[in-house]
Amino acid sequence: MKGTFTLGRIAGVRVAVHWSVVVIFLLVTVTLAGGRLVRLYPDYPTAVYWVLGLLVAVVFVASILAHEVAHAIVARRNGIEVEDMTLWMLGGVARLRSETPSPGVELRVAGVGPLTSAVLGVLFAASAVWLDVLAAPGPLVEAVAWLAAINILLALFNSIPAAPLDGGRLLRAVVWKFTGDPVRSTVIAAAAGRGFGWLLVAYGFLSILVTGTFAGLWMALIGGFLIAAATAEGRQAQLRGVFAGIRTRDIMTPHPVTVPATTTVEQFLAGAPFGQYRHTAFPVVDAEESPVGLVTVARVDRVPVPQRGSTSLAAVMAPIDEVTTAFPDEPVTDVLSRLAGAGESRVLVLDRESHALVGIVSQTDISRAFTWLTATRDRR
Ligand SMILES: [Zn+2]
């Protein structure tokens, strides 16, 4: 997903945060501290509202994180490595290193997310009741009750059978189970996602027209996001159908041109765009020729001209753990699902044993292979 920054690592998995989480974090703090809590319990010092508002926002983001970690744990238990996790305003996305092997696994991996949110919701609701019985301060009870409501809302929203929501994956698992066709099940779940997205957009704009306020804009925005994500998933599914049975080594460009990490931006640009520098992305290697990152012309271009002589490629490259990597014998379909939503749209292909760089897969490689495969298949 674009527009993210790294929060940290949980069990070796990179956790990234989309900017929309920052917005929702501030929104939660401000609506609680500046509105709801003050309105309901006006007699407390101002600091109490803000501390509570901040705490609730932190626990809310932690709840979303728990939902994602649950997906990751179940995926791992079923032998699927998790590439990374990205939190966004309505939950999160855990990117898996490979396709789910069966409808059963898909069902478990997708289902545990909403289940976790529902359990958290019930736990917070019970705590709120318990605090109320103990005659705890009103704002505290209200804050815990709010966390209960939002977690149950997360569980319900994510269960809607529309891709890319968890419910969309549940729908996919069910269709897959009955038709035995993983590609067609994705196409159906994606169509449901687009349909639901348009419904939200229509509802959002209609409510703006009817009520004359802009509250419906949120709904329309979420709808727009769902349509885009569902369309991308549908396209992915078609790609997967075409690339079935093809290995990464078959479509990669072998022996890519590499650049040393110590090269300055100025030295790098001196060679471009001619000869071997006619590409737009280059694997960056250390002194032992091991890949340490990926640098693109766009990244280099962001360095202001006066600093180009003193800035090394190591400083501007995407570090290796943020770059999609693959082994030569991996199915292209696995790599494609990993690539969807990655920051840089290239895959570095590493030797399974030595982790030495053996190739690169760019969008050009993918679309070229796609054209070949569809053209040659149509002629049969
Ligand atoms: Zn989920």
Q: What was the pLDDT predicted at 273?
A: 63
Model confidence at 98, pLDDT cuts 50, 70, 90, reads confident
Please choose, from the candidates 241, 258, 259, the residue with its C-alpha nearest in 3D space to the C-alpha of residue 360.
258
Q: What was the pLDDT predicted at 92?
A: 75
Q: What angle do CA 32, 34, 40 make, to 5 degrees?
A: 65
Q: Is the pLDDT of residue 380 over 50?
A: no
Q: Is the pLDDT of residue 178 over 80?
A: yes
Determine the distance separating the centroid of ligand 1 and the alpha carbon of 270, expressed in angstroms.
47
Q: What was the pLDDT predicted at 1?
A: 52
Return the minimum-mean-pLDDT range out of 24-28, 64-68, 121-125, 200-204: 24-28
DSSP secondary structure string, 213-230? Answer: SSTHHHHHHHHHHHHHHH
Residue that the structure tokens 């400083």 belong to: 315
Model confidence at 339, pLDDT cuts 50, 70, 90, reads confident
Q: Is the pLDDT of residue 51 over 80?
A: yes
Task: Give percent of the chain above pLDDT 90.
Answer: 37
Q: What was the pLDDT predicted at 55?
A: 93
Residues contributing to the annotated binding site = 67, 71, 166
The 3-state DSSP class for residue 98 equals: coil
Q: What angle do CA 6, 12, 16 make, to 5 degrees?
A: 20
Determine the distance separating the centroid of ligand 1 and the alpha carbon of 191, expressed in angstroms.
19
Higher-pLDDT residue of 314 and 46 is 314
Q: Is the pLDDT of residue 211 over 50?
A: yes
> For the domain with range 248-379, which CATH number is right: 3.10.580.10, 3.30.30.10, 3.40.50.720, 3.30.230.70?
3.10.580.10
Tokens of 365: 């490689």
**CA dist., res. 139 & res. 195, Å (int):** 40
The average confidence (pLDDT) of the chain is 87
Q: Is the pLDDT of residue 101 over 90?
A: no
Model confidence at 35, pLDDT cuts 50, 70, 90, reads confident
Distances (CA, A) of 63 to 121, 157, 166, 329: 9, 15, 16, 38
Do the Cβ atoms of 66 and 303 come closer than 8 Å?
no
Q: Is the pLDDT of residue 379 over 60?
A: no
Return the minimum-mean-pLDDT range out of 87-91, 224-228, 261-265: 87-91
Q: Is the pLDDT of residue 341 over 70?
A: no
Q: What was the pLDDT predicted at 196?
A: 94
Model confidence at 70, pLDDT cuts 50, 70, 90, reads very high
Residue that the structure tokens 């891709």 belong to: 163
**CA dist., res. 286 & res. 258, Å (int):** 10
Q: Is the pLDDT of residue 38 over 90?
A: no
Do the Cβ atoms of 332 and 250 come closer than 8 Å?
yes
Do the Cβ atoms of 348 and 354 come closer than 8 Å?
no
Residues contributing to the annotated binding site for Zn(2+) = 67, 71, 166
Residue that the structure tokens 């329309």 belong to: 220
DSSP secondary structure string, 307-343? Answer: GTTT-BHHHHSEEGGGSEEE-TTSBHHHHHHHHTT-S
Q: Is the pLDDT of residue 28 over 80?
A: yes
pLDDT tens digit sequence for 116-170: 999 999 999 999 999 999 988 888 999 999 999 999 999 999 999 988 889 999 9
Region of 78 on the Ramachandran plot (φ > 0 left; ψ -120 to 50 alpha; else beta): alpha
- Provide the 8-state DSSP code for 302: T
Determine the distance separating the centroid of ligand 1 and the alpha carbon of 372, expressed in angstroms.
36
Tokens of 151: 């977690």
Neighbours of ion ligand 1 (CB under 5 A): 91, 113, 166
Q: What was the pLDDT predicted at 377?
A: 62
Higher-pLDDT residue of 112 and 232 is 112
Residue 170's CB is within 10 A of a number of other CB atoms, namely 22
Tokens of 276: 């071997």
Determine the distance separating the centroid of ligand 1 and the alpha carbon of 115, expressed in angstroms.
9
Model confidence at 365, pLDDT cuts 50, 70, 90, reads confident
Mean pLDDT of 84-112: 83
Please choose, from the candidates 213, 76, 218, 108, the residue with its C-alpha nearest in 3D space to the C-alpha of residue 157.
218
Q: Is the pLDDT of residue 265 over 70?
A: yes
Q: Where do the structural domains in the chain lie, given as residue ranges?
A: 4-159, 248-379
**CA dist., res. 29 & res. 154, Å (int):** 18
68 is catalytic: yes
**CA dist., res. 160 & res. 83, Å (int):** 25
Mean pLDDT of 238-261: 87
Contacts of residue 309, Cβ cutoff 8 Å, sequence gap at least 6: 264, 265, 266
Determine the distance separating the centroid of ligand 1 and the alpha carbon of 287, expressed in angstroms.
41
**CA dist., res. 219 & res. 207, Å (int):** 9
pTM exceeds 0.85, yes or no: no
